[in-house]
Chains A and B, each alone.
Chain A
Amino acid sequence: MFAALSNPRQSLTQVLNFALVLSTAFMLWKGLSVATDSPSPIVVVLSGSMEPAFQRGDLLFLWNRGQNTQIGEIVVYNVKGKDIPIVHRVVRKYGGGDKPLKLLTKGDNNMADDTELYAKGQDYLNRSEDIIGSVVGYIPFVGYVTILLSEHPWMKTVLLGLMGIMVVLQRE
């Protein structure tokens, strides 16, 4: 099993391979970010106010090109002073043209619109400042992996370690 370590050239190649895998993943993520014009083109749903459309653990693909958001689109937005983005549906839109659109959002599973969730004194979302993308694609459940990883940070270390050991120890 530790035969690989006796051959430094081979083990170095394997370390290099591992680095290649990591950098490829990173490049894909950043490439997707550039293509969609969104800082995080794939998000995981954490809570249920868009149920039954989106449940906890669902993976959403975002698209952020074009500022002309339509009514009924589901957008992911940041609120100033909060770190976790929110995914809700656009129920009102005002203005546009030369100025950015003003949008009001609401969760399908909520009675009330989101005015109370916005920053203090803010009544509407600004399309160009607050919104990081509009949902275009959907895969259920798959995001649970990330939820597990982020809620139990030690799993991240263990997983990364296991991956590293596996790549290094595996022989062609």
Chain B
Amino acid sequence: MHSSLVRVQNVFGYFTTVAFCTAIFVALSVLVTPQHPSASIQLRNVQVVKGRPHYYSPKKEEYAHIKFDLDADLSSLFNWNTKQVFVWITATYPSSSPTAPPSQAIIWDSIINSYSQLHPYTPFDAWKDLPIVGTNKVPAKKSKSASKKKVAEAEAEPTPGLVRLKNSKPKYQITDVTGKLASQANVTLELGWNVQPWVGALTWTAKEGQDFGRWKGIRGGKSEAFDLPALKGKSATQETVIQKGTPKPAEAKPVVP
């Protein structure tokens, strides 16, 4: 059977096999890169205020506004298969029910793009530097400076994963499911992350001591425990409205309906 249909089939089959093998190899190969993240978080200031989730809400809740310092080195999380790293800081505190595990809420987060995400490789970039056949145009000089420029760009770019925040405001003012948060004791801030690969498995925060082969758990990354203040003075009478936009859904459909 040497019809062209069979050949097309063979070529396509070969292509998918090679693509999948390469993807599996890339996904597994990241295990050889050493990871040694470290961070330190300090509480700067904390306030508890009364407020409503949005303007028309009749619900009144207590919101904690936590300011913090963060000094993190997550640069070793970036390897050839890293698309982005999502970092966040959670506030962890005991739940109101004694049998339940601690409650957690994100007070700050950020997406750190990898170099390859910011500067995606396109084969057409290389074509631009080729001399154009049949003309006298030789863009060789330009290409040299262009490639130099690229190198300079890469060098100027700060290493992704170095995060330094001084007295940073929280991105989210958090509340509890009960609506009460004032005077909450034993709150800690903790750094977490999620590595989004180009292909393969997603990985999450490795806690201190959670080593996996060449991947070391985080050093530090946790604040001292502190207590939230009570509602008092101005904050007890004033009301903040947590302004939010309208969320859009990221819809995901089962592959087999």
> How far does the Cβ of B14 sit from chain A's closest Cβ, in whole Å?
17
Q: B256 and A40: CB pair below 8 A?
A: yes
Are A88 and B250 CB-contacts (below 8 A) given A93-B104, A99-B100?
yes
Contact of A85 among B83, B105, B194, B253 (CB under 8 A): B253
Q: B244 and A53: CB pair below 8 A?
A: no
Q: Which of B11-57 contact A (CB under 8 A)?
A: 23, 53
> How far does the Cβ of A88 sit from chain B's closest Cβ, in whole Å?
6
> How far does the Cβ of B106 sit from chain A's closest Cβ, in whole Å?
4
Q: Does A131 contact B (CB under 8 A)?
A: no
Report chain A residues within 8 Å CB of B1: 170-171
A1 to B192, CA, bound (A): 62
**Number of A residues contacting the other chain (C-beta, 8 Å)?**
66
Contact of A137 among B200, B244, B248 (CB under 8 A): B200
Q: A94 and B95: CB pair below 8 A?
A: yes
Contact of B253 among A43, A53, A113 (CB under 8 A): A43
Residue of A nearest to B111 (CB): A108
Are A91 and B105 CB-contacts (below 8 A) given A40-B254, A71-B192, A72-B194?
yes
Residue of A nearest to B118 (CB): A52
**Number of B residues contacting the other chain (C-beta, 8 Å)?**
51
A112 to B249, CA, bound (A): 11
Q: Which of A101-128 contact B (CB under 8 A)?
A: 102, 104, 106-117, 123-124
Are A94 and B250 CB-contacts (below 8 A) given A44-B255, A108-B111, A138-B196?
no
Report chain B residues within 8 Å CB of A168: none
What 1/0 mask marks residues of chain B from 215 to 257 whose CB sits below 8 Å from any chain A CB? 0000000000000000000000000000011111111111111
Q: B97 and A97: CB pair below 8 A?
A: yes
Residue of B nearest to A87 (CB): B252
A68 to B101, CA, bound (A): 10
A126 to B239, CA, bound (A): 30
Report chain B residues within 8 Å CB of A85: 251-254
Q: Does B162 contact A (CB under 8 A)?
A: no
Report chain A residues within 8 Å CB of B172: 91, 113
Contact of B251 among A68, A86, A92 (CB under 8 A): A86
Q: A72 and B193: CB pair below 8 A?
A: yes
A15 to B101, CA, bound (A): 56
A96 to B204, CA, bound (A): 20
Q: A136 and B256: CB pair below 8 A?
A: no
> How far does the Cβ of A92 sit from chain B's closest Cβ, in whole Å?
4
Q: A52 and B249: CB pair below 8 A?
A: no
Contact of A72 among B176, B192, B197, B250 (CB under 8 A): B192
Report chain B residues within 8 Å CB of A95: 95, 97, 100, 103, 177
Where the two chains meet, the residues of A that have a C-beta atom closer than 8 Å to any C-beta of B are 29, 39-40, 42-50, 52-54, 59-60, 68, 70-74, 76, 84-89, 91-99, 102, 104, 106-117, 123-124, 135-140, 143, 146, 150, 170-171
What 19 additional pairs, Cβ within 8 angstroms, besides A87-B252, A99-B100, A104-B105?
A45-B251, A47-B249, A53-B196, A60-B252, A73-B204, A86-B249, A91-B172, A92-B105, A94-B176, A95-B95, A95-B100, A96-B100, A110-B245, A110-B248, A111-B245, A135-B202, A138-B197, A138-B199, A171-B1
- Can you offer 22 A-B residue contacts whose CB atoms are under 8 A? A40-B256, A45-B251, A45-B252, A47-B248, A47-B251, A49-B249, A50-B250, A52-B117, A60-B252, A72-B106, A72-B194, A86-B252, A95-B97, A95-B103, A95-B177, A96-B100, A98-B100, A107-B250, A110-B248, A113-B244, A138-B197, A143-B255
